[in-house]
Structure 1
Amino acid sequence: MDTPRDDFKWFGEGFDGFPKSLPEDCVEYAIYILDSKLTDLERREKLRQVQSSVIKLTNESLKDFIWQRESFKLLLRREEGRSFLHGRTNYGDSVEDEWLIVYILRELSKKFPNIWIRIIDTDGQFLLIEAANVLPLWLNPEIADFRVWLNNGKLLIIPLEKPGVQSIKASPGALTLNDALKLIEHQASTPLHLPAVEAEAFYRLQKYPNQISDNLHHALLTIPRKLAYVLHEDAAYISAAVEAFYLRDPIALRPLQVSDHTALQFPPTDLVTMSVKFTKVGYAQLKSQQFAAPASWADYASTKRQEKSQGKAEMGMKVSCGFEMLMCDPQNQDKKAVREISMLLEDIRTGQDKLPTDAEIRKWETREDDETWLDINFEDFEKELGGNREPDAPKSMKGFGDKSAQQNLRKMVARFEDFLNDDTAGADGAELLDDMDKDDDEGNSTTSEDSEDEGEDTDVSFDEDAFAKMMKEMMGMAPVDGGSEAETGFSLHEDDGVLSVSSDEGDEKGVGQAMQDIENELREAGALDLNPEQEARGPESQRKAIEKGSSNGQSKPLMEEGDASEDEDANIDFNLAKNMLESFKSQGGAAGPGGNMMSVMGMRLPRDESDRGDR
């Protein structure tokens, strides 16, 4: 029993803690003041000033804002002898809440240039993920932790350290938090400001601060007067109720199945109409749910079916049921919203406060927003993808969704096109560097043999005419003087690093026949026969196959008897076909250059049966 205890480093005996990871849909942020001249007491005092400024900033910018699940908050903490501000927010399904936090932190860094901010979410360095297509090659996920910081409104990155840095033990690979803070604090490393990376990482912040109000939706609902009183006290309670409704289960629905209205906290009696504020995500979640009226609301629902206000009544029923489930579910009793609502209802029961009258409700702000942002017209969606949206079309047909959705869609398409047009990508797609991809002693990159010399790709020569001629001969097509594409109707070209074969429409039939002939020739020559005995038939079978193709008028013979030079040319063609087949086999069923080339020529080869047992 002692051995497991020693290996596990039991609590109080050097136990380092369980592996830490953020819960789903969470963003975590920390603020540090890096000034070696300050004492810890002075640093704490400055952090409190930052904390006070955050409260002022959020009160001004987020006065009427509603968070989807949790709000932005900063608490003073102390770890390993260092004081800092720390916060964590669960943003639920509203990704815009996460970007609002990034916006607040960036604005805060502009006001306090001496603070350094680190922000991550469940996916890790999500700011780098946003800028993935413009990151330098050395900044791979294995070394990115603790290298990305916000300072003075800029996105800064700690570069790879070179040996010889004094007083700080710098590592060219992954950093720890303490290493990163010391490198910045002692100015042992100058963080990099890469404008292209910053522009991509902060792209979504361009629409702020206007986006703050655009994240909200107002709707007129018919709800119980008691619930109207609660929402008027604090509109943010709606988020917890929407979540309770959206994540409901049979147990949560049980309180609604009673037929006695008096058993409900918000019975469908004494109804009023008021303007309710939602997050757009929350309103969409509520609107999209199919919800049959429970027993306690059955009579109310039947009386509202023929009324023009059916939409208001139905949404009001969903909101009321959401609050009922929120208040009755035992697992919600520790939530701040539940405790505060219980106190408000207690004040009503004891007479310390009164329900609002109709006259008072009419004085409240009334606002009803357009719901067209919920509608998706797939014809408009296709036009957005193709960039063919008509400028003079009616407002309802000028694009699907709202402006934010249109901008995000265009950005997504642009990034995808940039990825497809990336000349640096190889046949296997994006290439990631491993842990050994580090700078050497001279600071030169040693990532791979292919990247040792800058500009090496631009020096590679490719004789397109010679290769095209060789491919035509192998496919049994008669060579044309000069090898012009106009005469043959067959072209081999390179587009953004991808080699492809194309033909004119008029010659499609001839090219298809040529593809079939080359397959027949390879079979006759035994190149497609995976039987080891094929080598024994080599030259003779090959000669007969090629002569047969010549007699059919497909091409002139590549080899004639007694002609040694022609025999040598035929062997070269045979070896080329053999190498292509071996290249296809080496792919192991995955995509690769050999299979792609054969697909272009119309050849579909089966998997090697000898390898089936290994997979």
Structure 2
Amino acid sequence: MEADKDEFRGFEDGFNGFPKRLPDDCVEYSLFVIDARLKSQRELLSRLEAVRKEAVKLAESLLKDYIWQRDGFKLEVENSKGLMYLHGLTNYGDAVDDEWLVVYLLRELSNRYSDLWIRVVDVDGEFLLIEAANALPRWLNPEIADHRVWIHANDLRIIPLSAAPTTSSAKETAPVSRSLSLDEAHKTIASNPGILIHSPLIEAEAFYRLQNYPSQITASLHYATITIPRKLAYILHGRAASIAPATEAFYLRDPIALKPLQSISSNLVFPPEDHVTISVRFTKVLYAQLKSQQFSPPIAWKAKLAEAEENSSSTDLKQKRYPQLEMGMKVTSGFEMLITDPKNRDKHIVREIKLLLDDLDTDEEDLPTDEEISRWEDVAREDDEKWLDINFEDFERELAGNPQEKKPSIPGAFGPESPPGFGDAKTQADLKKMVERFESFLNDNEAGIDGAEMDEMDFDDDEGDSEEDSEDEDKDVSFDENEFARMMREMMGLPSDEDGVVRSDTEGRPATTISNTHRIEELGSDEDEVDEEANEIQKLMLGMERELNEAGALNLDPTPNKVSTLGGKTPAAEASNKDENWEDESDGENVDIDFNLAKNLLESFKSQAGMPGPGSNLMGLMGMQLPRDEDEHHISKPT
């Protein structure tokens, strides 16, 4: 109770606020200009503004047609804890590629300014180190990694332990095995940037996902032709990025959002009429979210879909037009839910869409004609969907680490020939990398029996006191696996690795007793060659063996003692005991010991319900074969 009182101190040391935590699926980035030539805050602010403008130009040049899943790349000047820097936060949702696109932009930006230092983290912390986990030194673990990882001049830099925090007390001269604060990291870089570590191996692993950029930006897009109302085609032409929030509204729909679509009397914003077929730009994540959803058509769309299915004169026409209309129904429903759901009323994109709709209602704008639509850029573009197809045989071979074992496909045997591989090239490359890392983990010969090795800093500080108290005790304990295994084999009556067979006992005692006694004598006669710890273990094992012998647990011939224990002696048992000089102690105490042992063994065997288990294995080693126990039996103590 006293310890609990000491641990809880309330607010006696002051309240510094609750710990900051990023929202899920968010990446946070901070950009610092560290230049000793900037003497005033005004000069620093001017430099930061120049970096921000360059970042905007870079994003516009690389991301002209790109569609962000939720939030885009943005930077704002922030002044916190005496430091002025650029800060940004991007919510990438289910599109992990958006997170790595942010890292790529930041890395490219760092290459344009020699005084720019960038830190990027997500909800998992220093995720660049997580990517490079296989290449990290042992000292660099999550407990001390905060504020140590920076991007500078297109390189990955790490603040080492030898960089003592400048805000530490003078007494703290040794390397500090803990995380740094932002102020400590900033001062370390400003005072001694050359001390930071640059490891090409760590950098290659950390930036592995960036190797396909900038081509990956275009490769992540997908164009598909869909059939939608003309009014919605007008909206998409003017605000192509609105497809992302509309898809998310459809993908994360709830009963409240679906209510306007399920009502017959409801006035839809985009009624299923005056349809046009156009090409819409998605990201592959957005298209997959729409394509994979099983969605019952709204009441107003059911007749339209049924009519399209009936009017398809040929199978080829049906396979093309109906999916276009079905995908258009999903997109239109997503926009309907996005605009009508009250929780979206304050979103910037929703306000823009409503302004465009107001212009149509007031006749300030007219809907585009078919001729105008035909002149739109990429109006009929349609990309292949093979990246959605998965050959599960190839997928399993990749997981098994055998990508070269390709089985020849037989066209026409089970329909059309299945496409080789699975997904796109990036998906296959990511899976191969995952398999390689997993195999590297399994083949790590330096790992102990418990798996990953743990450093002293991997444990909580609260456990330090108890570990220090028991440190002296732990130093006196050692364990020899081979010696212990050899003695246990001999105690079980199995051949030892040294002897090959169990030695016979000419004096009537178990061979293990003679063997262990002989070794104890050798230990006593030559203490200079044998460690004292091994001697103690030998004595301990000999004592355990003596107690087990007294209980009859090590008797490999169950006939003499087991018969006498269960009541009565046979002539064969008496002769056997006489020949082997076993003393037949029939007092009540010894009978109780044997009875308890037999009862425990039988209960263990009974609990196996006829299946293999420790009880049957142990009795098999003792030369006993018991039948299955079909009925309930209770062992009664003999009188």
Match of 1:257 among 247, 258, 262: 262
Q: Is the 8 A contact 1:161 1:189 kept in 2?
A: no
1:149 equivalent to 2:150? Answer yes
Task: Identify which of 411, 425, 431 aligns with 1:403.
Answer: 425
Q: 1:208-607, aligned counterparts within 5 Å?
A: 208-260=213-265, 263-306=267-310, 307=312, 308=318, 309-364=321-376, 365=378, 366-386=380-400, 387-390=402-405, 396-435=418-457, 536=547, 538=549, 541=552, 544-545=555-556
Cα distance change of structure 1 residues 393 and 188 upon mapping to structure 2, 3 Å threshold: same
Instruction: Give 1:390 shift.
Output: 4.8
| Residues 140 and 433, structure 1, Cα contact 8 Å, conserved in 2 | no
> Whole-Å Cα distance in 2 between the matches of residues 299 and 268 of structure 1?
10
2:58 maps to a residue whose letter is L
Question: Which amino acid in structure 2 is aligned with residue 317 of structure 1?
Answer: M
How many residues are aligned here? 485
What residue identity is the alignment partner of 1:149? W
Q: Show the counterpart of 1:556.
A: none
Map of 2:24 onto structure 1: 24
Structure 1 counterpart SS, 2:556: helix
**Letter matched to residue 207 of structure 1:** N
- Matching of residues 72-83 of structure 1 within 5 Å: 72-83=73-84
Q: Deviations over 1:512-563 (max 9, x none)?
A: xxxxxxxxxxxxxxx9xxxx99964516836742799xxxxxxxxxxx979x
- Distance (whole Å) between structure 2 residues aligned to residue 373 and residue 240 of structure 1: 23
Residue type at the aligned position of 1:412: M
Offset, 1:132: 1.4
**Whole-angstrom CA distance in 2 between matches of 1:324 and 1:540:** 81
- Report the alpha carbon displacement of residue 433 of structure 1 after superposing the two structures with TM: 2.8
Equivalent residue, structure 2, for 1:139 = 140
Tell me, what secondary structure is at the counterpart of 1:111? Answer: coil
Q: Deviations over 1:351-370 (max 9, x none)?
A: 22221111111222121111
Any idea what the Cα deviations from partners look like across 1:55-113, whole Å, max 9, x if unmatched? 11111111000011111111111123321100000000011110111111111111112
Structure-2 residue corresponding to 1:158: 159
Relative to structure 1, the CA distance from residue 541 to residue 184 in structure 2 (aligned partners, 3 Å threshold; closer, same or farther) is same
Distance in 1 (CA, whole Å) between partners of 2:374 and 2:120 is 44
Residues 578-609 of structure 1: CA distance to partner in whole angstroms, max 9, x if unpaired? xxxxxxxxxxxxxxxxx9xx99x999xxxxxx
Residue 64 of structure 1 aligns with which residue?
A: 65
Tell me, yes or no, if the aligned pair for 2:29 and 2:118 is still in contact at 8 Å.
yes
Structure 1 residue 234: Cα displacement: 1.9
Give the whole-Å Cα distance in 1 for the aligned partners of 2:30 and 2:304. Answer: 50
Closer/same/farther in 2, CA of residues 482 and 67 from structure 1, 3 Å limit: same
Matched residues in 2 for 1:152 and 1:602: separation?
69
Q: Is the 8 A contact 1:159 1:189 kept in 2?
A: no
Cα 1:270–1:179 shift into 2, 3 Å: same
Q: Deviations over 1:358-404 (max 9, x none)?
A: 11112221211111222223222112223244569579542111111
In structure 1, how many angstroms separate the alpha carbons of the residues matched to 2:193 and 2:268?
65
Contact 1:241 1:319 in 2 (8 A): yes
* Secondary structure at 1:207 match in 2: coil
For residue 46 of structure 1, what is the aligned residue in structure 2? 47
CA gap of 1:355–1:35, structure 2 versus 1, over 3 A, is same
Contact 2:143 2:458 in 1 (8 A): no
Contact 2:223 2:280 in 1 (8 A): yes
Inter-partner Cα distance in structure 1 for 2:85 and 2:621: 64
Deviation at 1:197, TM superposition (A): 1.4
CA distance in 1: counterparts of 2:551 and 2:10, whole angstroms: 71
CA RMSD of aligned residues (A): 3.8
* AA aligned opposite 2:452: A
- Between the aligned partners of 2:197 and 2:390, the Cα distance in structure 1 is 42
Q: Secondary structure at the match of 1:17?
A: coil
Alignment of 1:106-117 (within 5 A): 106-117=107-118
Kindly state the Cα deviation for residue 144 of structure 1 after the two structures are TM-superposed: 0.6
Identity rate of aligned residues, in percent? 51
Q: Is this contact kept in 1: 2:158–2:196, CA < 8 A?
A: yes
Distance, in Å, in 1 between the alignment partners of 2:142 and 2:185 is 16
Cα 1:249/1:543, change in 2 over 3 Å = closer
Structure 2 residue runs without a partner (length 5+): 1-8, 313-317, 410-416, 461-467, 472-479, 501-540, 560-578, 582-613, 623-639
Match of 1:121 in 2: 122
Letter in 1 for 2:30: A
Displacement of 1:172 in angstroms is: 4.0
8 Å contact kept, 2:166–2:188 = no
Opposite residue 420 of structure 2, the aligned amino acid is K
Equivalent position of 1:488 in the other structure: none
Which residue identity does 1:32 align to in structure 2? F
TM-superposed deviation, 1:281: 1.2
Please state how far the C-alpha of 1:193 moved relative to its aligned partner: 1.0
- Could you say if the C-alpha distance between residues 396 and 105 of structure 1 is closer, same or farther in structure 2, counting changes exceeding 3 Å? farther
C-alpha distance 123-296 of structure 1, shift in aligned 2 (>3 A): same
Please say if residues 165 and 188 of structure 1, whose CA atoms lie closer than 8 Å, have aligned partners that are also in contact: no
Q: 1:163 to 1:533 in 2, by over 3 A?
A: closer
Q: What do the CA deviations read for 1:280-329 (whole angstroms, capped 9, x no partner)?
A: 11111111111111112222122122331110101100100100110001
Query: SS of the counterpart of 2:211?
Result: helix
Residues 213 and 546 from structure 1, CA distance in 2 versus in 1: closer, same or farther, beyond 3 angstroms? farther
Q: CA separation in 2, counterparts of 1:214 and 1:471?
A: 63
Runs (5+) with no aligned partner, structure 1: 1-5, 439-445, 450-461, 484-526, 549-559, 563-594, 604-615
